[in-house]
Amino acid sequence: MTACLEITQHPGAAPKATVRSNVAVPLRFADGFTATADVMTFHGLADGKEHLLLALGPWEQALLGGTAAGYAPEAKADGPLVRLHSECMTGDVFGSQRCDCGPQLREAVEEIAAIGGFVLYLRQEGRGIGLYSKLDAYALQDDGLDTYAANVALGHGADERDYTAAAQMLEALGADAIRLLSNNPDKASQLEALGIRVSEQVPTGVHLSPANQHYLAAKRDKTGHTLELPAVPLNAVPGHYAVVNLVDGLIPALRERAEETEQFRRLPESTVEALKAAGIFNVLAPKGNGGYGMGVETYVEVIRRLARGCASTAWTAGHLTEHVWMLARWPRQVQDEVFSSGTSPLAAATGAPMGEARRVPGGFTITGHWSFASGVMHSEWALLAVQCDGVRLQALVPVASLELLDTWHTSGLRGTGSNDLRANDMFVPEHRVVDWQLLSAATNPGSLIHPDPLLHTPMASLLNLVAPSTALGSAEYAIELFKDQLMVRKVKNTTQWRQADSALAQARYSQASGLITTARLHWQEAVQILVSSHKRPGAELNDHERASYRLSLALSGQASEEAVRLIAAASGGSSQRLSHPLQRIQRDMNVLLNHPTLSIDPIVEQSGRGLLGLGFTVPSF
């Protein structure tokens, strides 16, 4: 029997659905437990999927507020006990222990059958991404990603489930108020928004196994599931390829938001949240501070691949990640302060020009106007260069205490939000001001705290990697666009069916490909010089290595820029529209090549001196 109640539809509710069929099905689980369910199907579900509702026990009495055994007379106000259960073939059917879905389903049927209510079996495999994608996500979890990060790495949302159909099914039976059997707060929030009142959220049991402890911990830590887990060692540090896959999953969305990023002159919050969810800012953070403790090779690959989506995002993320590494070089007191939240702290850093510091009781007062603070729009902290009595220092201050000046109006890299900062006689406590020479030395305070070899690397080395890595990724995106253009049908002003059939277009494409290969080889050479230095004590580069390192990076940037120039010249009139991605790539590349880390003339001069053994005339080179 289907209960019929008069329902007033909630303003946010979905269109009404109706019961299509109702058939009694005896159930038997592997442990011998049995129950009988009235299995209902529906017309008019919003997503068109074949969801099921299993009505269990004295469900009509529970729905109407009857007095079945074990069910209080006042239950009508609270509603029946309901479980929204997303389909999980691996757990429900095959008994997979990688999740807790099978045991939760078994538990829900028994609890609901005892007092009356519903199990809604929703066809949303893998939190909505599908069975095949869920299995792909399992492979990424084997490489260290958690269940949510793995979904994101595949280009999906962390959780794509929508409970509109569930609300329609409940409304079709008149269940406008329920007791929800779930640990997931998102289910309750969505149902409430759809007009279903959740009078109580009843937690399920904790079905812990050695195979699902990381999975359950991620649900607890990332989406607020009400789970009490024993203290177990969790190895949540992903491998190199897992991080790379995560970044590749971000690229389509970065391309879609690239124009918006330019208009905002900062990264959209959705981009920043996606970077955080992917763990990008953890790449260089020491494991002792909750980071991944990865090396240069992963760091530069992240920047390069982000640039295939958006150069401004690559530049900003590259510097913010590098600044986490800079903060890990500070003394223990500061590290305990900035890493206390358990997440990698975001900090802008600028030294152009240096401000002035004056000693006062308990610390310093600083005054200055600093430019090019990339990522400041998303930062809590700022690392500022100051000098006191001719000694260069670095001061760490909260961004909120500084004056932020809207000065970043540029032709390229517009989305980096590299605005100016100003302070006037700002007090900075002594522990947040450190001698630059100490921070930049191979034996810095952080290197005595953490075993990460990268902390012994000279401070400027990682700064020099951001621009060429961004340039290379941008050039790779440009040639991808060029290839797409060449391969489509085009008949304007030519006898060829498509541009790719033109011998000249073929030559231009091969020439641009060769330039990008040159850029990549120079870039790889520079990275290997730096990586090799980490294998010996001190990690200091000698003059010959430093000259080769800077020269290879500069030549990589030049080859990337030349490839983009060649591609732009052969891409026709349509590429001149401001909405065309190639226009943005050209503008970004122009700004990148004017950055000091890629400015060719001083680099080739100093590199020549270093290669000839003449010594550098620029000490910071």
Nearest to 309 by CA among 278, 338, 337, 340: 278
Report all structural domains of the chain as residue ranges with CATH numbers, in order of start.
Answer: 18-223 (3.40.50.10990), 244-338 (1.10.540.10), 347-443 (2.40.110.10), 457-612 (1.20.140.10)
- pLDDT at residue 209 in the model: 74
- Is residue 508 pLDDT above 80, yes or no? yes
Neighbour-count burial for 378-396, b at 16+ CB within 10 Å, e otherwise: bbebbbbbbbbeeebbbbb
Count Cα atoms within 13 angstroms, Cβ side, for 19.
18
> Greater confidence, 525 or 211?
525
pTM of the model: 0.67
pLDDT band, very low/low/confident/very high, at 494 (cuts 50, 70, 90): low
- Is residue 456 pLDDT above 60, yes or no? yes
DSSP state of 498: B
- Is residue 491 pLDDT above 90, yes or no? no
- pLDDT at residue 68 in the model: 42
Q: Cα–Cα distance between 599 and 190 in angstroms, integer?
A: 53
Cβ atoms 3, 173 nearer than 8 A: yes
> Greater confidence, 533 or 402?
402
Stretch among 38-42, 182-186, 485-489 having the lowest mean pLDDT: 485-489
pLDDT band, very low/low/confident/very high, at 582 (cuts 50, 70, 90): very high
* 444 contact partners, CB below 8 Å, separation of at least 6: 329, 438, 455, 456
- Is residue 6 pLDDT above 60, yes or no? no
- Is residue 67 pLDDT above 60, yes or no? no
Q: Convert the pLDDT of each residue in 474-483 to its tens digit.
A: 999 999 999 9
Q: Cα–Cα distance between 514 and 119 in angstroms, integer?
A: 60
- pLDDT at residue 230 in the model: 59
Count Cα atoms within 13 angstroms, Cβ side, for 214.
19
Q: Convert the pLDDT of each residue in 27-58 to its tens digit.
A: 998 888 899 999 999 999 999 999 999 999 99
For 301, phi then psi, to 5°, come to: -65, -35
Nearest to 346 by CA among 330, 369, 370, 327: 327
> Greater confidence, 342 or 286?
286
Report the mean per-residue pLDDT for the chain: 89
Q: Convert the pLDDT of each residue in 305-317 to its tens digit.
A: 999 999 999 999 9
Stretch among 177-191, 197-211, 399-413, 434-448 having the lowest mean pLDDT: 197-211
- Is residue 620 pLDDT above 80, yes or no? no
The three-class DSSP label of residue 36 is strand
* 422 contact partners, CB below 8 Å, separation of at least 6: 368, 369, 370, 402, 403, 405
State mean pLDDT over 218-241: 74
- Is residue 128 pLDDT above 50, yes or no? yes
Calculate helix-pair angle for 459-487, 581-593, nearest 10 degrees.
150
Could you tell me the two tokens for 459? 């401070």
pLDDT band, very low/low/confident/very high, at 435 (cuts 50, 70, 90): very high
**Nearest 10 degrees: Cα torsion 321, 325, 327, 332:** 140
> Greater confidence, 238 or 467?
467
- pLDDT at residue 45 in the model: 96
pLDDT band, very low/low/confident/very high, at 215 (cuts 50, 70, 90): confident
The three-class DSSP label of residue 501 is helix
> Greater confidence, 575 or 105?
105
- Is residue 426 pLDDT above 80, yes or no? yes
Q: Convert the pLDDT of each residue in 185-206 to its tens digit.
A: 999 999 999 999 999 999 988 8
- pLDDT at residue 477 in the model: 97
Neighbours of 328 (CB within 10 A): 29
Cβ atoms 250, 272 nearer than 8 A: no
- Is residue 529 pLDDT above 90, yes or no? yes
Q: Convert the pLDDT of each residue in 154-175 to its tens digit.
A: 999 999 999 999 999 999 999 9
State mean pLDDT over 242-265: 92
The number of residues in the chain equals 621
Say if residue 362 is exposed, middle or buried (CB neighbours under 10 Å; 0-12, 13-18, 19+): exposed
C-alpha distances out from residue 536 to 456, 464, 527, 531, Å: 10, 21, 16, 10
Quote the percentage of the chain above a pLDDT of 90.
Answer: 72
H or E stretch at 588 = helix 581-593
Supply the residues annotated as catalytic.
159, 161
Could you tell me the two tokens for 165? 């159909």
- pLDDT at residue 231 in the model: 47
* CA 72 to mean position of chain CA atoms: 47
